[in-house]
Amino acid sequence: MRKKQFKAESKKLLDMMINSIYTHKEIFLRELISNASDATDKRYFLSLTDSSVSASRDELKIRIDLDNEARTLTVSDSGIGMTAEELEQNLGTIAKSDSLNFKKENEGNEKIDDIEVIGQFGVGFYSSFMVADRVEVVSKALGSEEANKWVSEGADGYTVEPCDKETVGTAVTLYLKKNTENEDYDQYLNQYKIQELVKKYSDYIRYPIVMAMSSEVPDPEKEGEYITELNDEVLNSQVPLWRKNKSEITEEEYNSFYKQKFYDYTDPTLVIHTKTEGQATFDALLFLPKNAPMDFYSKDYEKGLQLYSNGVLIMDKCADLLPDYFSFVKGLVDSADLTLNISREVLQHDHQLKIIAKAIDKKIKSELTKLLKNDREKYEAFFKTFGIQLKWGVYADYGMNKDGLKDLILFRSSNGGYVTLKEYRDRMADSQNEIYYACGDSAERIALLPQVEAVREKGLEVLYFTDDVDEFAIQMLMEYDGKHFANVCKEDFDLSTDAEKKEVEKKNEEAKDLLDKMKGILGDEVTAVKLTNKLGRHAVSLSAEGYVSLEMAKVFAQLPGGGNEVKAQLVLEINSEHPLAAKLKTADDETLEKYTKILYNQARLIAGLNVENPTEFADMICDLM
């Protein structure tokens, strides 16, 4: 018997197949099972088109056998089988996919749609050599009386010779390598490891994957003792939940699938089950968690959906399927339209992936919109957990996603509870030209700001921005339904009448020398000291000039490196109607200095800023007392 050499680039190409293409050695089992599934599909297809071929789905299966003593793992199928010539063509020529050719040859037959060809490149079989020193393939073709054995120990070549095999189909036997310091090959002889790999990669192969599982059972002859018993078990689920009709699936089944698949202990807030046909055909099953994962806000968190092709897991976390603002979404996508690379681990071209990602993004937004409309309580609970992600989505990428997200974001309101921008806009008075907001650490603290109190006293609603990203997102949004946003704590915000504005201007002019003195005492801490009429009952407050607000400056200061070069231009505002304003005019220089510093530090505390010298501040108050 003469050893034959591989066609194509022979040793160099096969070495590349074995050592370079696949990231994880365990992939070999996925590839062998996928090939077995393809062979079984071909036989089933022929049974639909040729009356002489019998093959009901009940008798078609894939089997895995382990032999620890011989160190072999065998994957066998009841598929179409191969002749000696086909063994040479399919296994002797690397990168020849018989499965792909089979589907192309039958493209005109409508029954081919029931067949799911997984193999595309004809290289998956060779992943066996990552874990095996020797591979034997025994196959008997449908309609043939003779069986043949293909044997190879790697790049040196292969042999093909007749052998005995009673049933139609193919059995691939791997003689596993011995363990090395860096690699554990014994694990592939462990029934629980094989069970785990089948569940991970091939759980949704449409044919039963059977393996004899050993278990300890009571000895019927000896009480209190146990014997080892072998029983065939089906390792895979076969029918993916996401391919069933939604009407056939209960809420409990969805929730159970989610908790088992994604290791959560609570039911999801929302389940999105969708099938899309068109530019890209795919099934998707998505879940919105009730709670954020423990590592969600850490650098170790990885977003992404599981990616399947014809029920076979291709990627555990495909990040390209989700935008960052939906990074909390769990789930999976299954599509036969994906263009895979040679290892079936990543995509060769991303065009189809982008189409799928765009459709998923649109679907999630649509379902969130429905939830907001139909179950406000549940949506608000969701938003408390993940709303900040949506706000970052408005801000990120130069606001490219703002239009799709602006109606999904909520803010606390001076009217109580959460409000959407649309709800705020709908109840604005006709005379109101802007959407008012204020920033702070909490809604409670914002409500106590002098400027906010003054606006509320006029019967106007104020949005409370409590997240760092809020004001940045609004700046990117710029306006909503023709109404721009106005920070009530900015220096140029003024709801006064023209007459009231003129009165304040007159008072500032009359007190110019006093205000200049106070500005001199504070130096570069403020850009100006002014009298104002917009503080209600309060004596003093800080406002900001220009683009950078007080809250934005706080955020910049928290960035790596301190962000101290970005500061708010502060203005100390004193209530012209407060008795304190008259008191300042009668103070001597020494007292004025104390008053000025005390007022400035009070204003900083009201604004949520630190007092740089709290000891001096406390001493000055004690002196006055």
Percent of all residues in the chain with a pLDDT value above 70, rounded to a whole number: 88
Distance between CA atoms of residues 21 and 23, nearest Å: 7
* Whether the predicted pLDDT of 334 surpasses 80: yes
- Closest-CA residue to 187 (of 12, 38, 25, 62): 25
Distance between CA atoms of residues 180 and 79, nearest Å: 35
Q: Report phi then psi at 577, rounded to 5.
A: -95, -5
pLDDT tens string 88-137: 888 876 644 454 444 445 455 554 455 444 444 356 788 898 999 999 99
Q: Report phi then psi at 333, rounded to 5.
A: -130, 135
Look at residue 19 in the predicted model and tell me its pLDDT.
Answer: 63
Question: Average of pLDDT values for 352-381?
Answer: 95
Give how far the C-alpha of residue 550 lies from the chain's centroid of Cα atoms, to the nearest Å.
Answer: 33
Torsion, Cα of 491, 495, 501, 504 (10° steps): -60
Under 8 Å between Cβ of 542 and 573: yes
Look at residue 112 in the predicted model and tell me its pLDDT.
Answer: 42
Q: Which is more confidently placed, 158 or 464?
A: 464
Q: Is the pTM of this model over 0.85?
A: no
- Closest-CA residue to 258 (of 269, 248, 247): 269
Structure confidence at residue 17 as a pLDDT band (50, 70, 90): low
pLDDT tens string 472-522: 999 999 999 999 999 999 988 998 889 999 999 999 999 999 999 999 999
Query: Parallel, antiparallel, or unpaired: how do β-strands 305-309 and 330-335 relate?
Result: parallel
Under 8 Å between Cβ of 179 and 187: no
Structure confidence at residue 148 as a pLDDT band (50, 70, 90): very high
Distance between CA atoms of residues 516 and 519, nearest Å: 5
- Closest-CA residue to 122 (of 153, 82, 149, 160): 82
Distance between CA atoms of residues 515 and 598, nearest Å: 15
